Amino acid sequence: MFKTRPERVAPTVPTTRTAKSAHTRATVLDTALAMLREQGYEATTMRAIAQRAGVSTGNAYYYFPSKDHLVQELYLDVLRAHRAAADEVLARGGTLTERLRGVLDASVDVFSPYHSFGAEFVSVAIRPGAAANPFSEASREARELSLGIFEDVVAGASPAVPSALRARLPELLWLAQLGVTLFWVQDSSAGTVRTRRLVAGASPIVGTLVRLSRLPVARGVVDDVLRLTASLKA
């Protein structure tokens, strides 16, 4: 009788290469983020990033095809910090006005260390097709992370936001936050106090408009706004 050969066990794939690759990517990213904070966008080149990170320029490009992708990673890093800060604000409850103001103030707080090159960041982000453009496919993770914050702002507000607005309001608030960020970029006042003033003044206006949307006389205007925003996405 023939003896059955023992089944061969596939060798375990070593994870050393994968771990090294992840470490290299993290090193390049951390180096790039530090240089962007220290030097700004224009002064931070892929070659300089590679030199400081101790890798070849080609290796740096392998992980990040362009500086735009690094800016996108920085944006994600800031948004994660905003998410954490917003959670603390929202845990306190409150009205829509209070929650919105707290979350917008928190966004100014987390963006503050990058004010020196905010204009450069925006100039990259507004380019159609750029990875850092908030409306691009590459920015889906960042966009959904930020939208999630405003979904929570609306969902936990007391009194409850009218059902007709509940689904669309988070996106409108996210767009408003982008507007606040643009204002903040141009704000040269000490401590960006004008941006703080804008947030403090605009938040109650939003809260009042949402309350008025319950009235029949204002419902038609609300419906017009919702239809307009929906048509822009079509």
- In this prediction, residue 196 carries a pLDDT of 97
CATH number of 67-233: 3.40.50.300, 3.40.50.720, 1.10.357.10, 3.20.20.80? Answer: 1.10.357.10
Distance CA 182, CA 126 (A): 11
For residue 66, give every residue at least 6 positions away whose Cβ sits within 8 Å of its Cβ, in sequence order, or none: 46, 131
Is the model more confident about 126 or about 62?
62
| pLDDT per position as a tens digit, 34-68 | 888 788 788 889 999 999 999 999 999 999 988 88
Least confident of 5-9, 62-66, 70-74: 5-9
Distance of CA 82 to the CA centre of its chain: 8
Beta carbons within 10 angstroms of residue 149's beta carbon? 23
Which CA distances in Å does 210 have to 86, 159, 163? 21, 11, 11
CATH 1.10.357.10 residue window(s) in the chain: 67-233
User: Which residue from 64, 175, 71, 63 is spatially nearest to 123, judged by alpha carbons?
Assistant: 71
pLDDT of residue 217: 67
pLDDT, tens digit, 9 for 90 and up, residues 137-176: 888 999 999 999 999 999 999 999 988 889 889 999 999 9
203 contacts: CB under 8 Å, gap ≥ 6: 97, 98, 100, 101, 104
pLDDT tens for 175-225 read: 999 999 999 999 999 999 999 999 999 999 999 989 888 877 677 777 777
The CATH number for 17-64, chosen from 3.30.470.10, 1.10.10.60, 1.10.3470.10, 1.10.1040.10, is: 1.10.10.60
Say what the pLDDT of residue 91 is: 97
pLDDT number for residue 232: 65
Where do the CATH 1.10.10.60 domains begin and end in the chain?
Answer: 17-64
